[in-house]
Amino acid sequence: MTIPDPVFEWLELSPVLVVFVAACLGVIIEAVVPRKARFYCQLVLAEISLLSSVGFLVFNGVRGAWGPLAMKAVMLDGPAFVAWLALLVFGFLALLVFAERKINAGATAFAALASAVPGSATESEAIAQRREHTEIFPLALFSIAGMMVFVAANDLLTMFIALEVMSLPLYLMSGMARSRRILSQEAALKYFLLGAFASAFFLFGIALLYGYSGSFNLARIADSLGFSTMNRGLLLCGIGLMAVGLLFKAGVVPFQFWVPDVYTGAPTPVTGFMAICTKLAAVVGLARVFYVALGAERWSWQTLFAVLAIATMLVGVILALTQTDLKRLLAYSAISHAGFILTAVVGAYQNVAAGRVNAFGSIIFYLIAYGFGIIAAFAIITTVRDEGGEATRLQSWNGLGRKNPLLAGVFAFLLLSFAGIPLTGGFIGKWEVFASAWAGGFWWLAITAVGFSLVAAYVYIKVIMAMFFEEPDETVVVGKASLFTWIPVAIGALATLYLGIFPEHLMELVSNLQIFLR
Amino acid sequence: MNPDFVLWLAAILFGIGAFGLITRRNALVAFMCVELMLNAANLVLVTMSEVHGGLDGQVAALFVMVVAAAEVVVGLSIIVMVYRSRRSVSVDTASLLKR
């Protein structure tokens, strides 16, 4: 038996390779560059690699280099292109927030020495020496590279590897907070155990699906549906178990337990990063598997997903009402957003006129609008502080509008976008997603979702009222942050406004890039 | 070759792993249960590779072993970190985030 030489399209794959190589270089920098210079070396390397990756991506897009790559392991199609672009832009903004040091008296938000026991002499010594973990940048780059492969993976094995490459760095990053370290370590432990559990389900599902169809390739799985001589039970169990793995990453009920704990425990810049990048990768991966490989089997998963979408919105919205911590509130809000997005996944609406968005187009628009908002929101959370560090209790935010009207105004605007109020990107996203679910024949799901988003609006308006109409808490101040925080906040807020007023520009781009190739 | 017997064996191993992860309180044991689940999947991959002919499944099993090794590195480092700060790896004591 001969094995043919692998064909590898270097130029077409360059956006991923650049990020991956930069991550490897980052590891080398840790070893050879003196400690003082390391931070800016890592930061500049990471940001330049993300920007040049965007450059390569746009170049490939203009050239029209679409099609299967790397022996059909990766598919560069419209959805992969938009998802890569979104991941790179959000990764760029999130890494800027990682680099913020001014607000924390010259130290990053990450532990001085993550291996030191909290409160020990080793830790105080490390803090006194002003040590810091610049590994956070290569870790984030590895994670972004994994996400990029994940959203474009054309076979299930590549998808599994990419899932692990994107998750393993995230487990470590969520355990590296500088303050409240025990909490952060606990978040890392929970995220790791539950994440490994979910990826084991995902893998077992892949194995069963391979057993049914005899191939890992998405298109060949689609061809085998209904024609395989194997037991249909293999297919159904495989679909179910794979769905568990993917829905876990997206934070859908009943696999949402990790979301509030990890979002609260992780360092806030990391929370902002994973709130959008992990969710975007998971949802796009979910859509690719279920539309490309299992589209013909949609009668067996649509109804189940519809029920899960309703449960997700219910849990996310109702529990958000009872939260007293802002990070936790945004975590439950993230769960409810996963539910809103899932309505369009369920709709699976494909037959659209030219220039209109289908199910995937509406999902990615929603994710992009949500992403700009959530990165800016978590960046703002890092700036509101008391003597113990970030003040995330809701009461601490009382009267923020009197202390710093501009900051509170921007935060209120972002919350209105999450609530889906007109003139914000969030409104257009919700509109498109629900319209897509409706057009896909799930009108009852769309109506339920509108109902839930009205209830969800109450949660956000409650926070806004507290910020502007409650007596201020004098111990809480808005810290002096550097441009590393304010640039992402400004870009996030302006993009949210822009997407709310001129949605047609992004909509046009997305509507040209929304068809999965197979 | 009839794969039914091996599939049932794999399903039972997977079930033991999943059950163990949910019920055992020790993070190390819970982690071993995850490894058991991954190996159950490997068993299915290798068996089905034999059924369908071709090497895809067997190659996949090798990939899974490498991923499992990487997961051990990250997982054990997190568990050791937690053990050093609280002298216990029980997942019950890790409950500060519950309110």
What are A193-203's pLDDT values in tens digits? 999 999 999 99
Q: What percent of chain A has pLDDT over 90?
A: 76
Q: How confident is the model at residue A76 (pLDDT cuts 50, 70, 90)?
A: very high
For the record, the structure tokens of A505 come out as 């520009």
**Identity of the residue in B21, B75, B94 whose CB atom sits nearest the CB atom of A190:** B94
Please write the tens of the pLDDT for every residue from A52-66: 999 999 999 999 889
Flag whether B66 is in a domain.
yes
Cβ atoms of A287 and A82 within 8 Å: the answer is no
What is the distance between the alpha carbons of residues A203 and B38, in angstroms, rounded to a whole number?
7
Longest CA span, chain A: 77
Among the ranges given (A9-18, A358-367, A389-398), the one the predictor scored with the smallest mean pLDDT: A389-398
Flag whether A1 is in a domain.
no
User: What range does the domain containing A221 cover?
Assistant: 14-512
What is the distance between the alpha carbons of residues B92 and B88, in angstroms, rounded to a whole number?
10
Q: How confident is the model at residue A116 (pLDDT cuts 50, 70, 90)?
A: confident
Q: Give φ, ψ of A252 to 5 degrees.
A: -100, 140
**SS3 at position A9:** coil
Closest CA to A393 of A484, A459, A463: A463
**Identity of the residue in A171, A182, A261 whose CB atom sits nearest the CB atom of B74:** A171
**DSSP 8-state symbol, A180:** S
Flag whether B94 is in a domain.
no
Question: Residue A204 and residue B37: Cβ atoms within 8 Å?
Answer: yes
A and B: number of Cβ contacts within 8 A: 126
What is the complex's ipTM, to 2 decimals?
0.95
Flag whether B12 is in a domain.
no
Classify burial at B16, counting beta carbons within 10 Å of its beta carbon; exposed 0-12, middle 13-18, buried 19 or more.
middle
Q: Taking 70 as the threshold, does the pLDDT of residue A97 lie above it? A: yes
Question: Residue A197 and residue B21: Cβ atoms within 8 Å?
Answer: yes
Q: Taking 60 as the threshold, does the pLDDT of residue B68 lie above it? A: yes
Longest CA span, chain B: 54
Query: Which is more confidently placed, B98 or A397?
Result: A397
Q: Report the pLDDT value the prediction gives residue B54, as an integer from 0 to 100.
A: 84
Q: How confident is the model at residue A104 (pLDDT cuts 50, 70, 90)?
A: confident
Strand partners, A174: none
Distances in whole angstroms, Cα of residue A336 to Cα of each of A136, A139, A154, A284, A458: 29, 28, 29, 17, 13
Flag whether A4 is in a domain.
no
The residue type found at A97 is V
A219 touches chain B (CB under 8 A): no
Closest CA to B7 of A257, A230, A455: A230
Q: Taking 60 as the threshold, does the pLDDT of residue B99 lie above it? A: no
Q: How confident is the model at residue B87 (pLDDT cuts 50, 70, 90)?
A: confident
**Identity of the residue in A118, A171, A215 whose CB atom sits nearest the CB atom of B56:** A215
Q: Mean pLDDT throughout A169-181?
A: 92
Flag whether A7 is in a domain.
no
Q: Mean pLDDT throughout A93-112?
A: 90
Closest Cα in chain A to B29:
A193
Closest Cα in chain A to B63:
A161
What is the distance between the alpha carbons of residues A258 and A244, in angstroms, rounded to a whole number?
14
Q: Report the pLDDT value the prediction gives residue A47, as an integer from 0 to 100.
A: 96
Q: Mean pLDDT throughout A363-368?
A: 96
Please write the tens of the pLDDT for every residue from A317-341: 999 999 999 999 999 999 999 999 9
Flag whether A190 is in a domain.
yes
Q: Mean pLDDT throughout A163-176?
A: 95
User: What range does the domain containing B62 cover?
Assistant: 25-86
Q: Report the pLDDT value the prediction gives residue B98, as an integer from 0 to 100.
A: 60
Q: Tokens 């030219």 sit at which residue?
A: A354
Cβ atoms of B79 and B28 within 8 Å: the answer is yes
Dihedral, A160, A274, A179, A380 alpha carbons, nearest 10: 170
**Identity of the residue in A168, A203, A234 whose CB atom sits nearest the CB atom of B74:** A168
Please write the tens of the pLDDT for every residue from B8-26: 999 999 999 999 999 988 9
Q: What is the mean pLDDT of chain A?
A: 93
Q: Mean pLDDT throughout B66-88?
A: 92
Please write the tens of the pLDDT for every residue from A228-273: 888 889 999 999 999 999 999 999 989 999 999 999 999 999 999 9
Query: Which is more confidently placed, B89 or A68?
Result: A68
Question: Residue A117 and residue B60: Cβ atoms within 8 Å?
Answer: no
Closest Cα in chain A to B37:
A200
Q: Give φ, ψ of A175 to 5 degrees.
A: -100, 15
pTM of this prediction?
0.95
The number of distinct structural domains making up chain B is 1
Closest Cα in chain B to A229:
B52
A263 touches chain B (CB under 8 A): no
A157 touches chain B (CB under 8 A): yes
Q: Report the pLDDT value the prediction gives residue A477, as an integer from 0 to 100.
A: 87
For the record, the structure tokens of A201 come out as 């389900």
For the record, the structure tokens of A296 come out as 């013909």
Closest CA to A171 of B83, B12, B79: B79
Flag whether B48 is in a domain.
yes
Q: Report the pLDDT value the prediction gives residue A90, as an integer from 0 to 100.
A: 97
**Identity of the residue in B38, B40, B44 whose CB atom sits nearest the CB atom of A211:** B44
Q: How many CB atoms lie within 10 A of CB A36?
A: 9
Q: Taking 80 as the threshold, does the pLDDT of residue B91 lie above it? A: no
Flag whether B31 is in a domain.
yes
Question: Residue B37 and residue A185: Cβ atoms within 8 Å?
Answer: no
The number of distinct structural domains making up chain A is 1
Chain A residues within 8 A of B91 when measuring between CB atoms: 189-190, 193
Please write the tens of the pLDDT for every residue from A415-438: 999 999 999 999 999 999 999 999
A168 touches chain B (CB under 8 A): yes
Q: How confident is the model at residue A227 (pLDDT cuts 50, 70, 90)?
A: confident
**SS3 at position A262:** helix
Pairing mode, if any, of strands A74-76 and A389-390? unpaired
Q: Taking 80 as the threshold, does the pLDDT of residue A355 lie above it? A: no
Q: Report the pLDDT value the prediction gives residue B95, as an integer from 0 to 100.
A: 67
Cβ atoms of B49 and B58 within 8 Å: the answer is yes
Q: At what angle do helices A425-439 and A359-381 cross, to 10 degrees?
A: 150
The alpha carbon dihedral of A420, A422, A426, A430 has a sign of: positive
Q: How far is A265 from chain B (nearest CA, A)?
A: 7
Flag whether A80 is in a domain.
yes
Chain A residues within 8 A of B74 when measuring between CB atoms: 168, 171-172, 192
**Identity of the residue in A115, A164, A186 whose CB atom sits nearest the CB atom of B96:** A186
Question: Which of B28, B51, B73, B74 has the most A C-beta neighbours within 10 Å, making it the best mutation to test the interface with A?
Answer: B74
